[in-house]
Amino acid sequence: MAISSSTTPSLPGAADGAPSPLDVAQLARMANALFGAAPGQQALASVPGVQAPVNVAPAGSPLASPAGLAPGIPGTPVPLGQIPGSNLLPSSPTPLASLANRAPGLLPHAQAGNGIPDHALGALPAYEPRVGSAVTGVPPAVAPAAGGAAAVASPASAAPSPFYFSDLPKPGAPSAAGPREPGGLDALARLPFAVPEVPRAAPAPGSAAAGALPSAEPRFYFVDAVTLPDGYVTPPHPSRQGRGTDSGTASGRGADAGAAPAAGASARSAFDVHALRRDFPILAERVNGRPLAWLDNAATTHKPRSVIERISHFYEHENSNIHRAAHELAARATDAYEGARERVRRFLNAPDVNEVIFVRGTTEAINLVAKSWGMQHVDEGDEIIVSHLEHHANIVPWQQLASAKGAKLRVIPVDDTGQVRLDEYQKLLNSRTRIVAVTQVSNALGTVVPVKQIVEMAHRAGARALVDGAQSVSHMRVDVQDIGADFFVFSGHKVFGPTGIGALWGKREVLEDMPPWQGGGNMIADVTFEKTVYQPLPNTFEAGTGNIADAVGLGAAIDYVGRVGIEAIARYEHELLEYGMRALGSVRGVRLIGTAADKASVMSFVLAGHTTAEVGDALNQEGIAVRTGHHCAQPILRRFGVEATVRPSLAFYNTFEEIDRLVAVVERLAARRP
């Protein structure tokens, strides 16, 4: 049986002879529905001679038909690049298949993530860690039509129409609430931790009072009424869960849970954390049967699909050495590599792209400066200053330099909150100070250091300054011209990029005064047995074949962060951090390590009666990843009288629910303490 090209089906209720409102994608889905196996008949996939579609989502994929719901209707096999509908990942070098052609067709009240037309993608809910699957789909909740008229779509309990897409609500038509399916949202009540209410956003000035238009109210806990230009609504990130200073239940929620949000809370819904989480494939993983909660972002961050795709595209279409060879792939690879360098320059607001040196990471960058600049400019009796907060990577290279040259290593102390003491720092500066090397954000405590002041004070003393930005670049905007440092270093894997790549930025006049620290290919202009002439910056410091593909991946990561918006990231993470610090601090037996007023990401703590390893293991059993140990920062932990801490650390893809899960485990451990 086939649909004749001269016959165009009409939707139920359409006037005879009226042109069909269906587009090509809808016709394709309707054809799939017509050819689906009737009850008791053999499915197409099992009929001899019929080839199974090549683009059906594999088992376990977020696009696969959820267990217990309608079986997947095979998509129409269309060659890649000829898929109708929008590309799901515009930043990807190769188009991705449309959901409309890959996923099974489901009724609009069934679980989302499958068979939704491309124009509805903005409304698709994300993988929901609280229920361990894609969240139950909702018809778009939108503002009513002008004049208050509201056409209501078929409720979930209604009999399905012949084609699922004929029941999709149109923009301007809020959907009616239907009864919950068994095992759907009611399953939340069986979770080991409570699921919070989400406060409604305050009405905009001049809008109707809350509750005046009940048909426009969102009907599920994970939807906030934020209407997009296309008429659909984005899933919100959860609000602060009503956690206050008053004691509440074991999960930390008091009587104010579900209360109206504080002033400005409505702005938070503009940051769609659930949509962003869909960009990170690994966040759909399960650990020990639980949804992964990655709270180890100070160690490394996860990679968005655009970064993964960009690296794959490089190896598939551009792989070659750079700066040499007269062929097309060499030109492509060179363009991609140098394009990534320009992205780093813009990311740091550096004045000159040739001041950006690609290295393996922060550790190599600091070693480069210590071995090249340091060996040339530090002499016996000179002094090098670091802070008490430093990672071992910003201590050991300077110790080695001081030992080799007979110099002294001086340390800026911190106060009891973990912030550097500028008054004591001033006393350390003198005419023998050659360089000051400090972190912008502590990896062990999360303290945000006033690096601009530290750099200014170093320069007044005639010293150079290096800023370690490994822990800052993913949480705040960095402007090396504003900071004023002579060197700035960071690692790509800390900012959603690949491992094995990072960058050193240095002022041109300082870099040009430094000898190369490694010799080899790529960094030479001419070699004889008598002498070598080196390439100018940046090649001077990039000997050999570099990590070309991962440099390109770093450029893609920077592009991704730029699309999300670093200011939006900083605001959202600040709310997460405040919430998490307050929640952990309320648990009996928890001691927070590092409580400076200005912090980012890190929430280090110890729990009385339990080793950090015990806490880490208990969290891991619940699918929660944190770091335990000394975090390669032993001096600062010993300053607070501990050898190790538990270190949850946040990124913008984390949620308030994940913090609740963390705190629930810590509370359970605390309750076992005699």
Nearest CA-CA partner of 613 in 641, 588, 646 = 646
CA distance 128 to 112: 11
Concatenating the DSSP letter of every residue in 18-82 gives PPP---HHHHHHHHHHHHSPPTTSPPGGGSTTPPPPTTSPPTTSTTSPPTTSPPPPPPP---TT-
- Please give the sequence-ordered ranges of beta strands (E in DSSP) within 393-478, or none if there are none: 408-412, 433-439, 464-468
Alpha-carbon separation of residue 348 from 393, 396, 436, 472 (angstroms): 21, 26, 20, 11
CA distance 289 to 294: 15
CA distance 278 to 529: 56
Annotated catalytic, 172?
no
CA distance 8 to 14: 12
**What are the phi and psi torsion angles at 506 (to 5°)?**
-145, 155
Parallel, antiparallel or unpaired: strands 464-468 and 487-491 = parallel
DSSP state of 550: H
CA distance 630 to 647: 9
88 neighbors 98 (Cβ within 8 angstroms): yes
CA distance 181 to 220: 13
Catalytic residue among 145, 632, 634, 642: 632
Nearest CA-CA partner of 427 in 452, 441, 410, 442 = 410
CA distance 152 to 628: 53
Q: Which residues of 439-471 are buried (b: 16+ CB within 10 A; e: fewer)?
A: bbbbbbbbbbbbbeebbebbeebebbbbbbbbb
- Please give the sequence-ordered ranges of beta strands (E in DSSP) within 366-491, or none if there are none: 383-387, 408-412, 433-439, 464-468, 487-491
As annotated, the active-site residues are 632
